[in-house]
Structure 1
């Protein structure tokens, strides 16, 4: 299992209607979004307590870290995996 960072923008970025973005790390957020769009700097989010499925709410976004669950190849829920 890995982690996923979900950034939900309270207002979409100009030119797009997309409000939900998913990233593999906090650092990856800033390869697409700016600190202004997120409402927080990289340093702030790195120390804000997102680990352990935490949430940070800014004036511009809700940022959550969650566990990414992936299935094994050939496993099926119905037959117990």
Structure 2
């Protein structure tokens, strides 16, 4: 299982209308957004307790870490219904 960082923007960002973003790491969040747009620095999020499906709420965003659940390869016969 892999972790997923979900960023829900509570304030608009000028270059996008999209509110929900999904990343594979905290560092990846900062490849798209600045600390001002997220409302927290990378260092803060790394130490804020996101592991274990934690949540951080800032003035600009709600940041959650969750586990991505995948099906075992071939377990369903290849159907993607």
Calculate the TM-score normalised by the size of structure 2: 0.88
The correspondence of residues 9-20 of structure 1 with structure 2, limited to 5 A, is 9-20=9-20
**2:7 is matched with which residue?**
7
Instruction: Output the aligned Cα RMSD.
Output: 0.9
Alignment of 1:9-48 (within 5 A): 9-48=9-48
Q: Which runs of 5+ in 2 are unaligned?
A: 77-81
Could you list the runs of 4 or more consecutive aligned residues of structure 1 that deviate by over 2 angstroms after TM superposition? none
User: In the aligned structure 1, how far is the partner of 2:42 from the partner of 2:19?
Assistant: 19
Q: Number of residues paired by the alignment? A: 76
Residues 16-72 of structure 1: CA deviation (Å, up to 9, x unaligned): 210111000111110111100000001100000000000000000000000001112
Once the two structures are TM-superposed, the CA of residue 73 in structure 1 deviates from its matched residue by 2.5
Partner of residue 52, structure 1: 52
What corresponds to 1:73 in structure 2? 73
SS at match of 1:53: coil
